[in-house]
Amino acid sequence: MRWRAVAKPLRRYLLRRADADAADDILAETMLALWRRIEDVPGFGKGHVTDPDSMPPWCYGVARGCLSDARRADGRRLRLVERLTRTAPPPTPGEVDHPELHAALGTLGALDREVVLLWAWEELTPRETAEVTELTANAVSIRLHRAKKRLATLLDRKNDDKAGHEMDGGRSNR
């Protein structure tokens, strides 16, 4: 397995969900978990899979679990600090830039938000997202469609143009 090839996208995935120090720690935990479960990694170990593209979604799923563990640990730590010092929690990473988008994403449920972020930022297909989230590909497609529709309404994008996507596919209008 090319660990560096897996580590770079996983680090980008984690940086979008946590601050840089936490992302590095979570990446280290993820890589350790992958190493411990090396026999379970698709395309590696006993059950060799010929499709090398099946490995990254599986690794994203492991990273997602490590991120959840870290968030739970941070939550426990934060509650303790708040109890001891009576301070407010720090702002969530990334909320400073694009506040309208973060506000709109905040209206989605946690799983719907994760599906949208995996699709938009990690560029995973519904099949790959399904593997990460342990849903079916059909459920991911439905959640993604509904979430995008809701976000478009919240962000007042009621036109037919898809934000960030070229509509002409690079062809001339002649």
Handedness of CA 139, 144, 149, 151 (dihedral sign): positive
Cβ atoms of residues 115 and 143 within 8 Å: yes
Other Cβ atoms within 10 Å of 143 Cβ, number: 23
- DSSP for 31-58? HHHHHHTTTTSTTSSSS--S-GGGHHHH
Does domain 1-93 fall under CATH 2.60.40? My reply is: no
Architecture of the domain defined by 94-157 = Orthogonal Bundle (1.10)
Domain ranges of the chain: 1-93, 94-157
How many Å apart are CA 124 and CA 13, to the nearest integer? Answer: 11
Which tens digit of pLDDT belongs to each residue from 26-58?
999 999 998 888 887 776 655 555 455 667 888
172 falls in which pLDDT band (50, 70, 90)? very low
Per-residue model confidence as pLDDT tens digits over 68-92: 999 999 889 888 777 776 654 555 5
Q: What is the pLDDT of residue 77?
A: 86
